Chain A
Amino acid sequence: MSAQLERLLAIVRRVIGVPDYALYLRHMRERHPGCATLSPREFERERLTARYSRPGSRCC
């Protein structure tokens, strides 16, 4: 898959609200090097729980 297509798909994913694991990893590497990171599965679950437990993610 070409790099451009992969970038486009990443944009689409973020627009529809899919949490971005690569960004999370990059953040942990830059800001908290040496800290343990969540696995992709753990990250996804943690994000979904957070998203659906507060008002403000949806409108009428």
Chain B
Amino acid sequence: MKFLKPLAWAAISLAGAGAFAYLALSRGETVSAAWLLTAAVCTYLVAYRFYSAFIASKVFALDAARATPAERLSDGRDFVPTNKWIVFGHHFAAIAGPGPLVGPTLAAQFGFLPGFLWIVVGVALGGAVQDFVILCSSVRRDGKSIGQMAKEEIGPIAGFTGMVAVLGIMIVLIAVLALVVVNALKASPWGTVTIGLTIPIALVMGVYMRWVRPGRVLETTAIGLVLLVLALYAGRWVAEQPAIAPAFTLSGTTLAIAIMVYAFAASVLPVWLLLAPRDYLSAFVKIGVVVALAVGIVVMLPPLQMPPLTRFVDGTGPVFAGKIFPFVFITIACGAISGFHALIASGTTPKLLAVESDARFIGYGAMLTESLVAVMALIAACILSPGVYFAINAPAGIIGTTVESAAHVIGSWGFVVSPAELSALAQQVHEASLLSRTGGAPSLAVGMAHIFANVLGGGGAMALWYHFAIMFEALFILTTLDAGTRVGRFMLQDLGKHVWAPLGRVSWYPAVLLTSAIFVAMWGWFLYQGVLDPLGGINSLWPLFGIANQLLAAVALCVGTTVIIKMGKARYAFTTMLPLAWLVVVTMSAGWLKIFSPDPKLGFLSHARMLADKVAAGALPLGAKSATDVARMVFNDRIDAAVAGFFMVSVLIILADSLWVWYGILSGARAATSTEVPFTASTAGAGVPR
């Protein structure tokens, strides 16, 4: 039977290659989602079986007989040897957030093919490698964080730059995710009430777990899930009452302020009251919806309405500006490669591994799973007719504010959609309008509602499924946002204590309130500018987030490469240097274009110049009511340019520092001092997963 195995792998490889060939060659007819799924899954299987095995055995020589930190440092708290399936689930729930849902949806403006290829190829050679290598490095260093490893393996400059960059990335990340929520809830009483109710639901759960039934987490979460379903119906009921619906029909600015107040509260209130119950709830909903979406897509195998490539590969796209290179690689970060994962792969996960060789399944495997989620999000966005997709995702500054103007402009791009069709769809999902609901969440929700309603009950269920999908997306965006604000507050306190020692006291209320307010103000400022932006804000903020996230990935890959070289495995350093080189090219060219492109749609500085010129000529640009407005917009552009510049300089510093270290080691001028913990044999029984 020995010959069957190679035959099976040959068959899987051929099936994948065949699916790719079909996707590449099909023109002019709709393509079934089945081809995308086949191509993706076959690639994942082959990459996992061969490439991750290569890294596991040749690069790190993972050894099941080597004691892991969980075994050596076992403390029953952070370090607990854990069954690999549990670690996988936990790790996956931590890395999978709204990123892999939003990015592919936005990148669909280029057609389904560019985003799809980047997701599948990027994860196999980049994202999964990064997660896996960082996890292995951390496991060999007592579960140290990426920041500590950057400092100890590369040097203090890289370490400090990395730490400041992480803070910058958190600010942009939270701002852009909050903007996605604002755009999904704007003028939608149903959505607003449903999401609003999730806050009291979490509070009730928190109180229940603390005083009524202490420690009964699953029972409490089950109650929370039932209440969530009731909140969905309560939202519909409110939206149908003409007397109270207007009170919950909120503008973008009101919602932005509400979200800032919420995040501030989450940062200063005790965690058991709000954060912990929300997290438990969101972990369930997250895993549940991902599984449901997978089942829905497999059962329905919907045809993709979006062409493989659209005319917008030339950079004139309405969703975000910029050509396919480098912007598809910036827009889709999570799902292909996400630097944020390095924080998790060097956070909780390395402290749980019972057996060192499990790192392959967890590090590489969980990232492949996230990539599959990104492919499903892309499918859900691409089953909409392109006309509908662009009506939802193009800003009002481009398609106007009526269904007639939208249908006209979108028609001029060559995508047919009628005004009646757009009104009917909005009515079907019980929204006043779906035009210019940028940020990706609403179009993904429409796509998901199509799939769920198709599998589980006719068109009448569309509205419920749409709002369910919005609730699911907002729920886990808010979970990232509130916990992120709290972590940001701690990071600020940690930095602030060097300025004034009492600022670092994490349970001293004045310091807590002050640093929370400062951190909320930092991301709140970007959010507020994004809400006021006539081009929808996502336009400028999402690329900034993409650049920031890829920057963090570059830092992680620098650390990974340094670790590999210090192990004396420089001949295998291509595994991390290949994606690193690609990311440096991508972030540098995208950052450069965002700052200096002469096209005002793309470059921050030329946009600022265009605004100033308009005012000088006595005219007011789109979306500005006064010269003060314009001054604010100009200032805003310059800040965005400065932020992009800051991220680029950070990459260069860390890269230069790393290259210096690599050169030193390879030329023999510097000793390859590694902080790797020496081999200790695993004691039978001690590392048994529990």
The residue on B at minimum CB distance from A60 is B99
Number of residue pairs A-B, CB distance < 8 angstroms: 131
- A23, B80: Cβ atoms closer than 8 Å: yes
For B177, the chain A residues whose CB sits under 8 A away are 60
For A28, the chain B residues whose CB sits under 8 A away are 76
- A48, B271: Cβ atoms closer than 8 Å: yes
* Given A59-B94, A59-B99, A52-B487 contact (CB < 8 Å): yes
- B93, A16: Cβ atoms closer than 8 Å: yes
Question: Within 8 Å of chain A (Cβ to Cβ): is B168?
Answer: no
From residue B267, how far is it (CB to closest CB) to chain A in Å? 10
- B338, A59: Cβ atoms closer than 8 Å: yes
Across the interface, A57 reaches (CB within 8 A) one of B96, B287, B344, namely: B344
For B347, the chain A residues whose CB sits under 8 A away are 54-57
Q: How far is the CA of A49 from the CA of B490 in the complex (A)?
A: 12
Across the interface, B215 reaches (CB within 8 A) one of A12, A44, A49, namely: A44
Q: How far is the CA of A16 from the CA of B506 in the complex (A)?
A: 26
The residue on A at minimum CB distance from B92 is A15
- B338, A54: Cβ atoms closer than 8 Å: no
Number of interface residues of B (CB under 8 A): 60
- Which A8-60 residues have C-beta < 8 A from chain B? 9, 11-21, 23-28, 31, 40-41, 44-60
Q: How far is the CA of A45 from the CA of B209 in the complex (A)?
A: 12
For B483, the chain A residues whose CB sits under 8 A away are 52, 57-58
Across the interface, B90 reaches (CB within 8 A) one of A14, A41, A53, namely: A14
- B86, A60: Cβ atoms closer than 8 Å: no
For A53, the chain B residues whose CB sits under 8 A away are 486-487, 490, 506
Q: How far is the CA of A59 from the CA of B487 in the complex (A)?
A: 12
- Which B673-688 residues have C-beta < 8 A from chain A? none
For B173, the chain A residues whose CB sits under 8 A away are 60
Across the interface, A56 reaches (CB within 8 A) one of B76, B276, B346, B479, namely: B346
The residue on A at minimum CB distance from B74 is A27
- B343, A18: Cβ atoms closer than 8 Å: no
* Given A16-B280, A57-B347, A27-B76 contact (CB < 8 Å): yes
- A15, B280: Cβ atoms closer than 8 Å: no
Q: Which of B86, B95, B346, B484: most chain A Cβ within 10 A?
A: B86
Which label, helix, strand, loop or mixed, suits the secondary structure of the B interface? helix
- A13, B214: Cβ atoms closer than 8 Å: no
Q: Which of A14, A15, A20, A31: most chain B Cβ within 10 A?
A: A15
Question: Within 8 Å of chain A (Cβ to Cβ): is B97?
Answer: yes
- B343, A59: Cβ atoms closer than 8 Å: yes
- Which B50-105 residues have C-beta < 8 A from chain A? 74-78, 80, 82-83, 85-86, 89-90, 93-99
- A17, B283: Cβ atoms closer than 8 Å: yes
- A55, B166: Cβ atoms closer than 8 Å: yes
From residue B483, how far is it (CB to closest CB) to chain A in Å? 5
For B221, the chain A residues whose CB sits under 8 A away are 16
* Given A24-B77, A27-B76, A52-B271, A58-B218 contact (CB < 8 Å): no
Number of interface residues of A (CB under 8 A): 38
From residue A13, how far is it (CB to closest CB) to chain B in Å? 6
Question: Within 8 Å of chain A (Cβ to Cβ): is B348?
Answer: yes
- A58, B484: Cβ atoms closer than 8 Å: yes
Question: Within 8 Å of chain A (Cβ to Cβ): is B152?
Answer: no
Q: How far is the CA of A55 from the CA of B348 in the complex (A)?
A: 10
Question: Within 8 Å of chain A (Cβ to Cβ): is B331?
Answer: no
For B75, the chain A residues whose CB sits under 8 A away are 27
From residue A18, how far is it (CB to closest CB) to chain B in Å? 5
Question: Within 8 Å of chain A (Cβ to Cβ): is B641?
Answer: no
For A50, the chain B residues whose CB sits under 8 A away are 77-78
From residue B641, how far is it (CB to closest CB) to chain A in Å? 23
Q: How far is the CA of A58 from the CA of B96 in the complex (A)?
A: 9
From residue B124, how far is it (CB to closest CB) to chain A in Å? 20
Q: Mark B290-317, 1 if CB is under 8 A from A, else 0.
A: 0000000000000000000000000000
- A9, B218: Cβ atoms closer than 8 Å: yes
For A25, the chain B residues whose CB sits under 8 A away are 76
Question: Within 8 Å of chain A (Cβ to Cβ): is B582?
Answer: no
Q: Mark B271-293, 1 if CB is under 8 A from A, else 0.
A: 11001100110011001000000
Q: How far is the CA of A44 from the CA of B206 in the complex (A)?
A: 13
Q: Mark B193-237, 1 if CB is under 8 A from A, else 0.
A: 000000000000000000000110110010000000000000000
Q: How far is the CA of A48 from the CA of B491 in the complex (A)?
A: 18
Q: How far is the CA of A25 from the CA of B272 in the complex (A)?
A: 22
Across the interface, A18 reaches (CB within 8 A) one of B89, B217, B484, B690, namely: B217
- B89, A40: Cβ atoms closer than 8 Å: no
From residue B439, how far is it (CB to closest CB) to chain A in Å? 14
Q: Which of B78, B333, B346: most chain A Cβ within 10 A?
A: B78
Across the interface, A54 reaches (CB within 8 A) one of B74, B217, B487, namely: B487
- A52, B275: Cβ atoms closer than 8 Å: yes
Across the interface, A59 reaches (CB within 8 A) one of B95, B215, B279, B284, namely: B95
From residue A2, how far is it (CB to closest CB) to chain B in Å? 15
Across the interface, A23 reaches (CB within 8 A) one of B94, B284, B690, namely: B690
For B85, the chain A residues whose CB sits under 8 A away are 11
- Which B435-482 residues have C-beta < 8 A from chain A? 479-480
From residue A22, how far is it (CB to closest CB) to chain B in Å? 9
Question: Within 8 Å of chain A (Cβ to Cβ): is B141?
Answer: no
Q: How far is the CA of A14 from the CA of B348 in the complex (A)?
A: 12
For B406, the chain A residues whose CB sits under 8 A away are none
Top 8 nearest A-B pairs (CB, nearest first) are: A56-B347, A27-B76, A15-B89, A24-B76, A60-B99, A16-B283, A56-B343, A52-B271
List A residues at the B interface (Cβ < 8 Å): 9, 11-21, 23-28, 31, 40-41, 44-60
- With A55-B343, A58-B344, A59-B341 given, can you name 11 additional A-B contacts, CB distance below 8 Å? A15-B90, A16-B284, A17-B90, A18-B280, A44-B272, A45-B272, A48-B272, A52-B275, A52-B486, A54-B347, A60-B97
Question: What are 17 A-B contacts defined by CB distance under 8 Å?
Answer: A12-B218, A14-B90, A17-B90, A18-B217, A26-B690, A31-B76, A41-B214, A44-B272, A50-B78, A53-B486, A54-B487, A54-B490, A55-B487, A56-B347, A57-B347, A60-B177, A60-B545
